[in-house]
Amino acid sequence: MRAVVQRVGSAQVEIKGKKHAAINKGLLVLIGVEDADDTEDARWLARKIATLRIFADAEGLMNLSINEVAGQVLIISQFTLHAKVKKGSRPSYIRSAHPDKAVPLYEEFIDFMHAEVKGSVRCGLFGANMQVSLVNDGPVTILIDTKNRE
């Protein structure tokens, strides 16, 4: 699984012109599922994101996690995170999992995030055309790949 984690002052997702979900201070998580992913990847990623110390403490240092700042999370599925652009100009999504595999893992990831995060966890709609808006705080943007656990 791949995730782009952004620290935000606020974020929201619209579907068909209507607000679907919104958060205030917290994390916007774009999540992509590939064929090689499994439940352990979803569990590990949720724990990693929930414990990332990327919020400022009283001294302005990034020492606090989402739970320590009572933040919220907005999760958006994004299969394009597994795009390959080595050949030509059209990205290939061959590594992205098909919905029959991706949807259950995406839903498991959401369940794990609910278990790990004290604040509210909201999400977009898998496979929908979504318009996501955010106020990136910092900016702070972290890339995480469960197949490259550095």
Q: Which residues are catalytic?
A: 78-80
Q: How far apart are CA 102 and CA 51, in angstroms?
A: 24
Please check whether residue 119 is in contact with residue 73, taking contact to mean a CB–CB distance below 8 angstroms: yes
User: If DSSP codes are grouped into helix, strand and coil, which group holds residue 110?
Assistant: helix
Please check whether residue 83 is in contact with residue 94, taking contact to mean a CB–CB distance below 8 angstroms: no
Supply 122's token pair: 């909201």
